[in-house]
Chains A and B, each alone.
Chain A
Amino acid sequence: MALPARAARFDVDVGPALRAVILGIGLLVSAVALLGLIGLVLTQTETGFTWAGYWQQVVSGLAQGAIFASLALALVLIYRATDVLNFAQGEMATFTTFIAWSLMNHMSYWPAFALTLVIAFVGGAAVERIIIRPVEDRPEIVVVIVTIGLLIALNGLSGWIWNPEVKAFDTPFSYGTTEIAGVVISYQDLGVLGVCLATVVLLWAFFRFTTLGLVMRAVANSQDASRLLGVRVGWMLALGWGLAAVLGAVAGMMAAPTLFLDPNLMLVVLIYSFAAAVLGGIDSPVGAVVGGLILGVLINILGTYVDFIGGELRLPAALVVLLIVLLIRPQGLFGHRVVRRV
């Protein structure tokens, strides 16, 4: 008699929101525990290891990771809607960052930032309508090659318009530092982390709570079914490209103060972001964000504490980690295993 009662207790439906919160807290706790464990190992192997220095690396890793996460999320947005990896995503971000740089010669930071996002949105949507639309019905590989063409074109174009010289890019955050529980953290890192995560949360809220967001998720799920319900799929795809371009612009403007602005600003960032998206599971927005953060922290710790990696081998090291994860979990951390009948 006791059995049904006990079963009923576990049967309580907590609702998807609460489940997401529980999952989030669980992830956070396990991430901190894992980082603590890595730190403990390092106390044994590294001479001159300090916990304060270690956590400082973690925080600046998170800031870098947030930039990867933004661009990775942009990649995932477009991939989910159209099954296409947009190789031009990084160059689109660089191009909009150049626009921001030009605007900042005429106005202060935040107005230029906001105006850049608007331009990025319109530009991203226009790219979809004008360049992607004509090849939309072709095999995915054709569209991918068009995006590679776009990468090269935008790279050349930004060098031609703004010349390839490296430029300094403003940051709205002061270069000072603050101390939290003995860990020195730069305002720059905190600001980058905050802006990127705020963008991601805003985007999530848009998709979760608005009708337009719902329609866009439906289009990503099934274009045919959406059209039968009266959805203008073409415009929804353009909207998706616009939002992806906004994410890219945020990533570009956050990366530029430390990486400096030149036409190749986002090339390496794009590779890390691809890695982050695949690590998280290429069809999972949550995965892209988590994957970006993990990758950022990982390369920072590896670069700092593993001597032979240093600064130069960070990218290869990240890709090795990626390969190991994919060997164990081919669909990525949060991705869906694709099951097809053959």
Chain B
Amino acid sequence: MEHTQRYPAGVTRAPSRFLDALQRWLPKLVVAPTFVLIGVGIYGYMLWTGVLSFTSSSFLPVYDFVGFDQYAKLMANDRWLTASLNLGIFGGLFILSCLVIGVILAIFLDQRIRQEGAIRTIYLYPMALSMIVTGTVWKWILNPSLGLEKLMHDWGWTSFSFDWLVSSDMAIYTIVMAAVWQASGFVMALFLAGLRGVDSSIIRAARVDGASLPLIYWKIILPSLRPVFFSAVMVLAHIAIKSFDLVMAMTAGGPGYSTDLPAVFMYAHTFTRGQMGLGSASAMLMLGAILALIVPYLYSELREKRHD
């Protein structure tokens, strides 16, 4: 009723019909800019890169169709194989370490700890830093002559030697260390939130039955946090596949290309070595890896929601 009172008497229906139409179109108009930006900037460009990966583009894009040549070249490329293997090592160790450390810290922090807030803040601050800052600091800490090694010598352990940063076999593990330092606090926060949501009556019942606390955590609480595990693995895997900054800051892919990751490979070939076709193919494979990971995840997420 009040709707009509907004218009002075005598106004015909035409403007109100116009306003109604506007009202109906307004929501779509408001999201239209984002629709265009995302449609072009994500989906259009994804397609474009896909097209480039089937061409022989080198320094400039050319649109000749060469089939799967670039993918075949990629699979035969030593540097790409190293990068993929490194992703396996880095991703596996990074995810596993973050999970173990995060879970342990979360459980311990959930024992009515005094100053819990302050401790939590300390565990999480590395997440606020740029990977470039993290890389810079860890590069200095692991400096083969003036870093950790010298510290240990000064403290009396004179035979201590640590040159992983410049060793082509071990350098990838230094990147794992820095990455775990940065992200494990985040996993802690995820699990702590999960633990706070666990129904305490179940645990009380188990205790009455005589179960010990570690057993309760292992058998009851952690299994009930399965969704948190999934989320954490998703996010960590996503971070691992996209990892670029940390490698650039710590080793720039070296020594040689021993610490290359797919993202570093893609950057080097596309933007500095003038092999756009090959770089695009590697980008598409990275996309494929992420798809393999998130499609099942999103699918189960959305299905669950429909059941709610």
State yes or no: do A and B come from one complex. no
Using a CB–CB cutoff of 8 Å, the interface residues on chain A facing chain B are: none
A-binding residues in B (CB < 8 A): none
